[in-house]
Structure 1
Amino acid sequence: MIICAGRNETFKFATPMGVGLIESAINLTRQCLFDKPEFLLFIGTAGSYGKYKPFDIVESTSAANIELSFLNSDCYTPLDNVLNSENRLVQNQTIVNSSNYISTNFELSKKFNDYNIGIENMEFYSLLSVAKEFDINIAGIFIITNYTNENAHEEFLKNHSDAMEKLTQYLLDKKIIQ
């Protein structure tokens, strides 16, 4: 089953799950309770912490939920904040960080690269969490729309339409969709 976030990030071949950690977790849980998929592929956009440039495509089966304050040692959590799916089809193991907030402090957010966390997407961590709970393999394919800096939102808006087209073409080229 191919899933996406929703709102302005929808594809005719993907089922929207909602934007952010909460909406996506609720809706994927509902999907799994009523019609559990065998496999999940999440597709969407992401911001780069500096390792990737706009329109790069990143595949991953690893997600984190780490806030910027962690990078300054200003917080801790007793929770497992990095998860992996058992999917072996994806070679790149860049970790996708998820939060309900978009990072705009590039000097701070680029420190995520030190932990092999290369990009941020609002939904992937919660989707991976639900998939693990229901014993479903999941992978994500992301296209970079912006850097995590003070211009993140403007860059995202400027690149979003082209990114959606390029991601769709990537899926066609890889024969994931027809």
Structure 2
Amino acid sequence: MIICAGESEQFDFALPVGIGLTDVAINLTRLCLSQKPKFLLFVGTAGSYGEKKVFDIIESKTAANIENSFFTGGSYTPIDNMVSTAEDVSRETIVNSSNYITTDKSIGKAYLSKNIHLENMEYYAVLKVAKSFDIPAAGIFIVTNYCDENAHRDFMNNHKEAMLRLTKYMKESK
């Protein structure tokens, strides 16, 4: 089953499950209870912490849930904040998920030091739900922007082209 966030990120080949961690967790859990998929593939856009380029398409099976304040010493978490369906996490492009978009470029370096390259608001919830239902899962992302002070502007400017490219990639990949 192919899923996506929804609203401005809908595809004719994917079922929308919500925007942000909470909506995805609720809606995807409901979906898995009513019709357990054999496989979940999440498709969507992502911001880059600096090394991945705009319009790069990246596949991943690993997500983290780290807030920016973790890197400045302003928070900690008692939860296991990484989830993966990959056999070898060392080869993975890790996607961070938060309900907030990073606009401080210097924080991006901290994410990169942990091998976290992308930011997408939904992916961690997708993998957590998939893991709890023992469903194999993965994600395919297209970079729309860098995580810096221009993140929202660049996302808006690149979104339409990114959606076209991701749709083409998915239809050619089958």
Tell whether the structures are fold-level matches, with TM greater than 0.5. yes
What are the equivalent positions in structure 2 for 1:4-15 lying under 5 Å apart?
Answer: 4-15=4-15
Quick check: 1:86–1:137 contact (8 Å CA) kept in 2? no
AA paired with 1:19?
I
CA RMSD of aligned residues (A): 1.5
**Equivalences, count:** 174
| 2-structure distance, mates of 1:51, 1:112 | 11
AA paired with 1:47?
G
| 2-structure distance, mates of 1:101, 1:113 | 18
AA paired with 2:20?
G
Q: Calculate percent identity across the aligned residue pairs.
A: 57
Query: Unpaired segments of 5 or more residues in structure 1?
Result: none
Quick check: 2:47–2:144 contact (8 Å CA) kept in 1? yes
TM-score with structure 2 setting the length: 0.96
Quick check: 1:25–1:127 contact (8 Å CA) kept in 2? yes
Quick check: 1:87–1:138 contact (8 Å CA) kept in 2? no
Q: For residue 111 of structure 1, what is the aligned residue in structure 2?
A: 110
Q: For residue 38 of structure 1, what is the aligned residue in structure 2?
A: 38
Quick check: 2:94–2:116 contact (8 Å CA) kept in 1? yes
- Segments ≥4 residues shifted beyond 6 Å: none
Q: For residue 18 of structure 1, what is the aligned residue in structure 2?
A: 18
| 1-structure distance, mates of 2:119, 2:140 | 12
Find the residue that maps to 2:8 and give its secondary structure: coil
TM-score with structure 1 setting the length: 0.94
Quick check: 1:59–1:92 contact (8 Å CA) kept in 2? no
